[in-house]
Structure 1
């Protein structure tokens, strides 16, 4: 059985495709940085050519590594697929945007103004507009976190134009994920930047999921007449839409519980009053959850009715079957591959997943070739 056109388009849009359609942070903020690789990133000949007709696997929670797309990267953070099957990839700690595909890896731009020595901040999320002529990115500057737009001619990025600035920044809890929804609007995650009270203040953009037009304005129909779509978030680093247009978010917990949440308009997700499952009045609890030792969830991708959650501290991918607005028991995958920290999981146009390691971020133990983008087959 092949994926429906809607399933393919929603999955790719969530990954930023240009089609018309943990504890107090990642881990321990005081961990001693490790040496970053100095070699240029490269594409691997083991990467396969995209196929236009991905088929539904018998077991969408079964994952196996089938190739290395690229290696020698420095903290790959965001991935935005293009219509030709290649992708734009951000490097958090270098401010570079890379084009990655069967033709190799090349730099299409280095975003000016990025603070590359800002802990969990730096150059983070990335999406393209449907015509692929504009790239939207989120980054940490010296003063704040901000969302910018840059022209893109297929080879080089133009200079950034600010869509939204003044998002509070800190050494951790910077959010940074971007996704364009089926409604054509831009959704962005922000962290509380270490000030818990911001998450419950609907007049603050910190600790939120924001909903905007592609030029950064508050979207019509938002619940508080500003950019805020949901609130009460500690640090969301994963956003993805399922095939029915529901928005899911992965969120870092504090001392006990990490979360996978189904996002509702105007929903309060509890931070800092609650963490993990709750029956508190007016609070929306998670659909799936983990201990902070088992997850520290970063990116999330959805395909084949399954949410694939990247786990930094957990050093695995959690495959979470979805059933409407419910989540089934998570399955731990790729934990035996000794990949180290996993930063992102994004569905690719050929039906595989691109999985990124994050061992050069100062908190990991780099393996040979790190950081890598791996090709993972489902089923």
Structure 2
């Protein structure tokens, strides 16, 4: 329903705003009163070609704007048109059409304040208004509207909407079926590749912290001789096992003995004497620890080869599947998920075909009901 018509600088009209109430409205007047100008303005509003002669003399543009309230039976149709073209209104059930004709010949068409092509503009305007007597605007003369009008008269819009929804769903299902059946050979190749990749990673079974551990062990093996030499040197410094020189262990022990004698003469050195005793114990423990460490240092060429091979394998996996071991493991999980999806595609295909049959049956039932009602009401129109 047209609620408001605003006209500015159009033909002989300076500025005019008309408010329309619901119901039947008649505009009358003598010949030359301007009734046809209103019709011309509405024609322009609905998408008729513009003409610079429509611009009022002395003005640079003519504007015609109409505010429409969408009736309930057209709500979904108009809403779909607006959403499809990004022309939604902030006010529900309201559509504002605007034509702006410039004196220089240019014109603009706007829906809800947004510029759009004249084709889209006309489609929306044609859905909102019929101008009887102007065939280009009469929906009864547009074959594409015949079924829609018949269904409105028969009261089967809801069933028709159900059929449209079911048809949309069946289209999606058939698309998925097509994708699953597109290239069975390609799927087989994909499965083989995924199985190989998963097997390669799972059989290697890398751990996130493993590479650092192997590098540390490799470093010890490669430098085993030097490590043993340095550990022995530390041991000699502590124990004095080279020549006649005393080691740190003996020297600190001697200092502790002297301090114990001093303590008897001066009790104030109690803390110092205790520090010496503690240090003597710590040095002895250090000496035992370094001796044990030195004894465990061993050059094992076989173990070194194993580590080199393992590190090479980890490097290869990282190069193929990710920059870190963690990324490699994530890739393996995703590959397994993809493989499972392909493996279960046959089951999915069966599910999709069953759903397709269900939808076809439902569409058939709904369509049969619609057809029956169409035939019934069509008899009353002949």
Structure with the higher helix share, 1 or 2: 2
Is TM-score (shorter-chain normalized) higher than 0.5? no
Q: Which has the higher contact order (CA 8 A, sep 6+)?
A: 1
- TM-score normalised to the size of structure 1? 0.19
Higher Cα radius of gyration: 2
Structure with the higher strand share, 1 or 2: 1
